[in-house]
Structure 1
Amino acid sequence: MRVHPSELYFYHSSAQSNDKQTKAYAKSLTKFVNEIDVINEPITATKWNEILGMLELRPKDLLNRSHPDYQNQIAGKDWDDEGWINILVKFPHLISSPIAIYKNKAVFCKTPTDILKLD
């Protein structure tokens, strides 16, 4: 993924209230924060594959497994790799934490201070 060297890409779900603090830390790293709300700006399967490759995570690792939609529609079923990617595309509100990409490094921000690993 080509990114501007001084721009931080902040992928988050507007449905998550805890992302505000992480975003504040992002703005402490650089004044150029490109905020992408994955609910209002759908991410393609190709882009999800790129992001997951940078994170070195599986799609399932990004999801909030306690969310009712996960429990009702995803849990207990056998999904292949493409199926998991399609879940991210179709259910972006299930992403449990924001993702930050800066200077060709990516981090899944389980806590707000995780974003500081990018500096």
Structure 2
Amino acid sequence: MITIYHNPRCKKSREGLEVVKVSGKEYEVIEYLKVPIEEKKLKELLNKLGIGAIELVRTQEKIWKEEFKGKDFNNDELISILIKNPILIERPIITNNDKAVIGRPAEKIETIL
């Protein structure tokens, strides 16, 4: 099943959701700001994406710039930061079984549908 980790306030996330809807495939929406991503699930997502935690961080967010920018963190520390501050997680993230993409641009989503 397709899962989209979605922030409805984000234009790119809404565009990603529309791509998933248009596909006609069954999907689940997780609003990760309302339903936090647990550590195990976040590590699984990073593994499916094939990236380190820093690549999932929205470094232009105010909270990142004010509290974390310029500091060195290992992967586990970054995962902890993302769990405590989910607004820092890139979006949307779309998974389809063992594959995942960050849907920026939205065309990337089609590669796993």
**Residues 1:18 and 2:12 aligned together:** yes
For 1:67, which of 49, 61, 68 is the aligned residue?
A: 61
Q: Residue type of the partner of 2:97?
A: K
Deviation string, structure 1 residues 64-92 (Cα, Å, up to 9, x no partner):
11111110111111212211100110111
Return closer, same or farther for 1:103/1:29 CA change in 2, 3 Å cut-off.
farther
Q: 1:92 to 1:14 in 2, by over 3 A?
A: farther
Q: Which residue of 1 aligns with 2:47?
A: 53
Query: Structure 1 stretch 99-108 or stretch 9-18: which is displaced more?
Result: 9-18
Where do 4+ consecutive residues of structure 1 move more than 4 Å? Answer: none
Q: Equivalent residue for 1:39?
A: 33
Structure 2 length-normalised TM: 0.91
Contact 1:64-1:95 at 8 Å conserved across structures: yes
SS in 2 for 1:18: helix
Give the alignment's TM-score, normalised by structure 1: 0.86
Q: In the aligned structure 2, how far is the partner of 1:71 from the partner of 1:26?
A: 32
- Helix, strand or coil at the partner of 2:70: coil
Q: How many residues align?
A: 113
Gaps of 5+ in 2: none
Distance 1:29 1:102 in 2: 12
1:99 pairs with one of 87, 93, 96: 93
